[in-house]
Structure 1
């Protein structure tokens, strides 16, 4: 009984560590000034309304025009703003609201999901009880979903960015999109990532590649063609890289598939598929810059 209790205590500790603030993702710099953070949101908005400037998004406000209502027949049909999504989680208790581009969400669930965002550099502001506590700028890519975690004492962390394909969310449980970067998806090791082949499908893919492609250049072309419609795990990429004959082709493929990897925190596995230590260092250097 004592041994079972000890094992349970260790397991609980591992789960706690897996979700510990600041243990996953890239910390994004807080760009909010001390003065802004000491002013409530209402005071800040009142100050903005007294100025003639606007945010540069689709719905600019101007106090001089607020009382003028007239028909606007300058319609814009099928204007392409791009499409992107941003998912932000705030796991702590509090009255938080988040402003992103021209959207504002206030919820007690701790999950803030923004859809129909334009691509490009977009400011994000986080408020606690109406007071600005964090502001930074996100570099949002078209047809992508950016996933973030925010901790008051730690900051805003970019966990990962996934491509959006065929309007498919890419997960069965809303929590998985945040928990996966912590290696704590709770799905008992089953693949639950967007557009990733299961084990059987991947084996079929490998068999088809070896049947139709004998040389490295043909194999790389075959892999890249599949990569247009699928994502890979680190383990799958390692197998694909190891199957090539020449190390220069292996390092090239390892670099090109990094953006298609769903568990980048395990990409060190791919380094083991390279023949030379210099190639492994080259890959790690590439990863550190991307």
Structure 2
């Protein structure tokens, strides 16, 4: 009897030890841009928040189902692809789910990530060359963007709008849908085109930036903008 108990304990400790050292799990983080109270499901796990940020740890399903509910209304239900030992950071904006970043959970056998978007600054690891997205990505919180946009809408001239955009864009980045919203307010395509090209350098989801083309009033500016994207 004692041998059976000891054997069972040994197997339990071995299982626990394996689980602690098993790094096949992933993380899924979600940022919802539009302010509001949401409930988010990842398979059977549920998180409610009014801050727009949702964190799911220890994700083992490589294709979990993500559902977003606002109030009592289901606004998204979609399968996502998750890689082991990575944090998948998603953005939900204007009814569309976008991949913002994919970060490795570990560096030199140490958990390496901060509380949401990036690697911890003080981690003592060998240096890794940052990507352009790592250097430029500082997405505004929904609250901060709303404050910016409230002030921005009061601008009467394109020159004022450019100054406001540049002031924010120096330290933060916009999503494609946010860029579309603020560029649509421009009076003239000339300044709209210049600013659209400038914002592309730091936009968090460049794969969606082609949607900006539809806000140009004249075909030649639209065509020029699309040619610009082709070259990037």
Structure with more relative contact order (C-alpha pairs < 8 Å, separation 6 or more): 1
TM-score, normalization by structure 2: 0.45
TM-score, normalization by structure 1: 0.37
